[in-house]
Amino acid sequence: MTYRVYIRILKWLALALFSYVATALLVTVPWAKALQATVVPHIEFNQSFLFIVVAIFGTTISPYLFFWQTSNVVEDARADRRNSPELGGAPRISRAYMRRLRVDTIVGMFFSNLMAWFVILVGAVVLNAAGVTNIVTAADAAKALRPLVHSFPDSGYIAQVIFAVGVIGIGLMSVPVLAGSSAYAVTETFKLREGLFRKLRQARTFYLVIIGGTIAGLIFNFVGLDPIKALVLTAVFNGIVAVPLIFLIARISGRTEILGRNRSGRLATIVLWIAFAVMAAASIALLISLL
């Protein structure tokens, strides 16, 4: 399967996330309270609160997304033949192309955070309100969609279909992003061949890292480890590690000698430094609370 075909499949699979939006419209949601808490969040200065806050930051601005996003742009450039005939060298970058990248990034981040907001909302209204506060498996988390599947006549079969589409869809999106970003990081560090546009024989190390990461994730299901706790711990680690990476990106993105006319503008730079300051403060507070 070519890179372009796989990316098209991923775009359609992303629609599985809208099941949380549909569920929110079926259950009784205190919308005024939810919107107020979104704009004016309740803040507590204790270890549990800081732990989850850093975890949320780690899933929103994750280090692996830095590698995936940039590498994905390169993959698109190669697929569109924007590079040299040998698929090397710098791609042709016009102002229109940069505007398209900005729009694509802004729209993508908006909808990803909107879907995350609905996941949190539905989890709070359906699960937390019912006293379910300990999520151990994906099946436990999927129970948040129960009001949606119960709205259909044959709820049992529909529940299986929605759960399967959600797990398979999000799983197929997560594998290339998580394992793929690791593969990009490893191969680019050691200056090895990389890229989803290449065949296995052309980039063996790149694909071996993806295969190894996928197998490692599968093993979690058979060794007795709690996958949900592992995800939260990983998210906290990502939230802490992202801080120095954001600092480097902020320093590099504003330098004309590196990016030329494509360096970050004033607004983007301000927002970037704000993100750095907020995530750094949360991470430092968490680390202090753990001492």
**What are the tens digits of pLDDT across the range 172-219?**
777 777 888 889 889 988 999 988 888 889 999 999 999 998 888 888
Q: How far apart are CA 2 and CA 232, in angstroms?
A: 33
Amino acid at 260: G
Identify whether the C-beta of residue 179 lies closer than 8 Å to the C-beta of residue 214: yes
Nearest-CA neighbor of 169 among 8, 9, 20? Answer: 9
Identify whether the C-beta of residue 236 lies closer than 8 Å to the C-beta of residue 51: yes
Write the DSSP assignment of 130-141 as a string of letters: GT-----SHHHH
Angle at 70 between CA 263 and CA 283, to 5 degrees: 85
Query: What is the structure's pLDDT at 85?
Result: 46
Higher pLDDT, 82 or 115: 115
Identify whether the C-beta of residue 184 lies closer than 8 Å to the C-beta of residue 67: yes
- Burial label for 173, CB within 10 Å (0-12, 13-18, 19+), is middle
Nearest-CA neighbor of 127 among 108, 110, 106, 141? Answer: 141
Q: pLDDT digit string (tens) for 145-165?
A: 777 767 766 655 665 676 667
Find all residues with CB under 8 Å of 138, minimum gap 6, and list them.
Answer: 167, 227
Q: pLDDT digit string (tens) for 55-97?
A: 999 988 888 888 888 887 877 777 676 665 454 556 667 888 8
